[in-house]
Amino acid sequence: MSNESSVAAEQGSPSSSSNPASAPNYKVSKDTRRRVVTASFIGNFVEWFDYAVYGYLAGVISTVFFPQSDRQTALLATFGVFAVSFFVRPLGGFIWGHIGDRLGRKQALSLSIVLMSIATFCVALIPGYATIGVMAPILLLLVRVVQGFSAAGEYAGASAFLVEYAPANRRGLYAAVVPASTAAGLLLGSLLAALLSLLLSSEQLGGWGWRLPFLLAAPMGLIGRYIRTKLEDTPAFRELAVKDHNAKAPALAMFRTYRKQLVIATGAVLLNAVGFYVILSYMPTYLSEELGFGATESFLATTIALASYIGFIFLTGIASDKFGRKRMLLSASVLFILLTVPAFLLLDTRNFLVIVLVQILLGGMLTLNDGTLPSFLAELFPTKVRYTGFAVSFNLSNALFGGTAPFMATLLIGMTHSKLAPGWYLVAASIVSLIAVLFASETSKKPLQQG
């Protein structure tokens, strides 16, 4: 990582350059940056570990919480609960954004990880439909809503935290830690799901085995909370606070002055929202439920793809620092428009090696977007509304299209009777992202806006 450097030099804020004497000279050490990376990593890791386990064990969870008169209806209901938890995320984006822009990134991130860990832990404690009837899916829905609300502040907050601490020429690399942490959470979830399905009988897995991964959330969340409380807030936020330039109402300031950036950001997120959940979360269910592939093989194929995704994501972060955010995002959209449907055709060969290679290809294409998006969104907004702008755009797109992606994929297959339907859905998302990014300016070579 970088040697010590001042916020004035790295952030290049207009306020600092116009009045150098008034700008605090915050020094950031290598050790501080290492702790920032760790703290940012762990919160997203816990969040997406939960989503991974829920997505990968959706078939089992549907048998526990819903009546089994119609298998596809139960599966749709399970993904419906998954989707509903996303609908509160825009509200969470506004609230966590307000806290993050008014009180500090550290404060918002420390609170959100506690709520998220408790809610995830509680999933493991809910009795099934056979025990308490309709109260089982109701309680599951309530807990998932709390999870969705708390998760709304994680991705945006961690990205803003990293970008504001990063050296100016490495913001893409630092921000790539965020999607890497989400993939790592998915990877552990995939490994545990594969291990449980391999070691336990279907009766054991449906009876108690599925609950084990959710129990891990509490200790992981406590560790993340402890690490975050030991950090200072970012130099950019502290500089703004010292000068009392914080927006009193960040959401109002965003809508008044940064509407164009908000529209661009929301559209740009669409490929990530749909692609991430279709390729890295829904895929094992698609392979096993729609293509008749073995459950263990489905989990294994996705696990291999996830491991390669983590490696690619950092290369993308480095490339975005060198070649620019816009070029990387446009490349990702074009590749998905051209290659998604042919890739889904190859999945239907049901050959394990082909499926693994296709998933690695799709995951690698997705990293071009995902490894670039966090730094792009953080750079799009000035410091005083950065958390709010990022959180609202990211969570709005994910609420409407990300959390609903597994549900929509299952529904579209049922409506069209075509196993290619999820691929065409992903193509449509790519077209929207392509158009949005075309209207954006390049952000990587510019100083962060203080506002």
pLDDT digits (tens, 9 = 90+) for 396-408: 998 888 878 888 8
Q: Spell out the residues 6+ positions from residue 249 whose beta carbon is closer than 8 angstroms to its own.
A: 98
- The pLDDT assigned to 358 comes to 93
Residue 7, pLDDT > 80, answer: no
Beta strands (DSSP E) in 77-181 are none
What is d(CA 79, CA 76) in angstroms, rounded to the nearest whole number? 5
Among residues 403, 402, 424, the alpha carbon closest in space to that of 415 is found at: 424
pTM: 0.83
134-186 confidence digits (pLDDT tens):
888 888 888 888 888 888 888 899 999 999 999 989 999 999 999 999 889 87
CB 302 within 8 A of CB 356: no
- The pLDDT assigned to 68 comes to 67
Least confident of 87-101, 186-200, 378-392, 424-438: 186-200
What is d(CA 441, CA 389) in angstroms, rounded to the nearest whole number? 16
Tell me the mean pLDDT in the region 346-365. 91
Residue 6, pLDDT > 80, answer: no
Tell me the mean pLDDT in the region 12-37. 58
Residue 8, pLDDT > 80, answer: no
355-364 confidence digits (pLDDT tens):
999 999 999 9
- The pLDDT assigned to 371 comes to 95
Q: Spell out the residues 6+ positions from residue 51 whose beta carbon is closer than 8 angstroms to its own.
A: 82, 185, 186, 189, 281
Share of the chain above pLDDT 90, in %: 37
Residue 341, pLDDT > 80, answer: yes
Residue 265, pLDDT > 50, answer: yes
Domains of the chain: 31-223+247-438 (1.20.1250.20)
90-109 confidence digits (pLDDT tens):
999 999 999 999 988 988 98
Joined together, the tokens standing for residue 282 give 């829904």
- The pLDDT assigned to 283 comes to 85
Residue 350, pLDDT > 90, answer: no
3-state secondary structure of 6: strand
Q: Spell out the residues 6+ positions from residue 298 whose beta carbon is closer than 8 angstroms to its own.
A: 283, 284, 285, 287, 288
Residue 46, pLDDT > 90, answer: no
Tell me the mean pLDDT in the region 213-224. 83
Residue 191, pLDDT > 90, answer: no
What is d(CA 313, CA 315) in angstroms, rounded to the nearest whole number? 5
Average per-residue pLDDT for the chain:
85
